[in-house]
Amino acid sequence: MTLATLAEVLQPALERGYAVGGLVCLGWEDMRAYVAAAEAESAPVILQAGPSCRAHTPLPVLGKMFRHLAEGASVPVVAHLDHGYTAEECQQALDSGFTSLMYDGSRKPLAQNIDETAAIADMAHAAGISCEGEIGFVGYFGGETSAGTDPAEAAKFAAETGVDAMAISVGNVHLQQDQSGGLDEARIRAIQATTDVPLVIHGGSGVPVTQRSALARNTNICKLNIGTELRMAFGAALRDAVAADPARFDRVQILAETHDPVTQAARAVIRAFGAPGTTRA
Catalytic residues: 82
Q: SS3 letters for 183-248?
A: CCHHHHHHHHCCCCCCEEECCHHHCCHHHHHHHHHHCCEEEEEECHHHHHHHHHHHHHHHHHCCCC
Amino acid identity of residue 239, one-letter, is R
Residue 10, Cβ density class (10 Å: 0-12 exposed, 13-18 middle, ≥19 buried): buried
Cβ-Cβ contacts under 8 Å for 179 (sequence gap 6 or more): 205, 206, 207, 208, 209
Q: How far apart are CA 104 and CA 127, in angstroms?
A: 19
**DSSP, res 85:** -
Q: How far apart are CA 262 and CA 257, in angstroms?
A: 9
Amino acid identity of residue 47, one-letter, is L
Helices and strands (H and E) in the chain: how many = 12, 9
Cβ-Cβ contacts under 8 Å for 178 (sequence gap 6 or more): 206
* Inter-residue contact 173 to 181 (CB < 8 Å): yes
* 77-84 and 3-4 beta bridge pairing: parallel
